[in-house]
Amino acid sequence: METAAVLTQNLFSTPSAKTAHGLVRGPSRYRIVAVLDAPGHGHDAGELLDGQRRGIPVLKDLDTLLQSGVRPDWLVVGVATSGGVLPDDLKPVLAAALRLGIGVVNGLHDFVADDAELAAAAAASGARVIDIRRPRPRRELHFHTGAIDRVRAPRLAVLGTDCALGKRTTSQLLVAACRRHDLRAEMVYTGQTGWLQGSRYGFVLDATANDFVAGELEHAIVSCDRELHPDLIVLEGQSALRNPAGPCGAELMLSGGAHGVILQHAPARRFFDDQEHLHHEIPSLASELELIGMYGSRVLAIALNHEHLAAADRDAVRAQIERETGRLAFYPLLDGFDRVLPLVRAYLDAEASR
């Protein structure tokens, strides 16, 4: 397996480093040897992230990593910025890596290969560059065909009331929990981090021309069903159903045929992520459940992001949400999925009788 260091500069302990967080938690298509983030220097990345030691050191910079005798095959851009902009302070680090022949993997909308200085550094050393979000050629894209109607495996979508909530992490953890309990589950990724984590089926939704989103989603689901015959296919959601900056989620229900939903929510948030200055309020959970029902799907459970919630308040918040919505609520990173799996099994039984 090729090795990679993950570059977050000074952002590892912020939501902007969610790509890095996914690779630290795993899985990953690369063996992660370090996270480069000056404020966390000397710590274990897992301990900084969620208190679980994972044997991935956080180092000050690329020079420190190389001086330790470790030379990775790749340097991964580990941040996800608003609008996918490549931060200026990352470019000198990327250029240094490329000049040394270390490849760069970038999941942002700003492409490394299109930056004159970075492209020249790569050309000089022969280093490889992977811009995950670079749109694929039209000839490689799939248009919706209706083949989704013949898919045997039920689909369950993990949608959110906002961005950067942990939808991908919840999807990965749900798949893992199903497998531990003898349910053959697979995930279809829809973002760049899913590709970085080595998921076999999926596409990068926000790098796909809108005409082909339904077809690419269908193709990933159909391929997964035909090749692996899973009991359940979990669809990773993007953004939110009513986020003004990027509404998303209806595709997974309409084009992907997900009749079941786990809805991710951050109870401590009032406004959409990065839109606090616009005062765009996140809709109520009750209205989100109603909207999802209008699409012909139903919410099985509500996954809670515990950011900015005091530990002493979490049980009360969870209980209040359960009373208000009539749905099971749980903290994926804290509670696990023991209470959720019976609901998933019931959903599978219901889908089998449709």
Packing angle, helices 167-180 and 18-25, rounded to 10:
20
What was the pLDDT predicted at 275?
87
DSSP 215-261: HHHHHHHHHHHHHH--SEEEEEP-SBTT-TT-B--HHHHHTS-EEEE
* pLDDT tens track for 164-186: 899 999 999 999 999 999 999 99
Predicted TM-score (pTM) of this structure = 0.94
* Residue % of the chain over a pLDDT of 70: 100
Q: CATH says 140-352 is which class?
A: alpha beta
Q: To which CATH superfamily is domain 3-131 assigned?
A: NAD(P)-binding Rossmann-like Domain (3.40.50.720)
pLDDT at residue number 273: 86
Read off the pLDDT of residues 275-329 as tens digits, 9 standing for 90 and up.
888 898 999 999 999 999 999 999 999 999 999 999 999 999 999 999 999 999 9
Integer Cα distance of 348 and 346 in angstroms: 5
Task: Give the neighbor-by-neighbor strand order of the sheet with 258-265.
Answer: 201-202, 185-189, 232-236, 155-160, 258-265, 298-304, 328-330
Handedness of CA 71, 75, 79, 81 (dihedral sign): positive
Question: What ranges do the domains of the chain cover?
Answer: 3-131, 140-352
CB 260 within 8 A of CB 266: no
pLDDT for residue 276: 87
Query: Hey, do 3-131 and 140-352 end up sharing a CATH topology, with the first three levels equal?
Result: yes
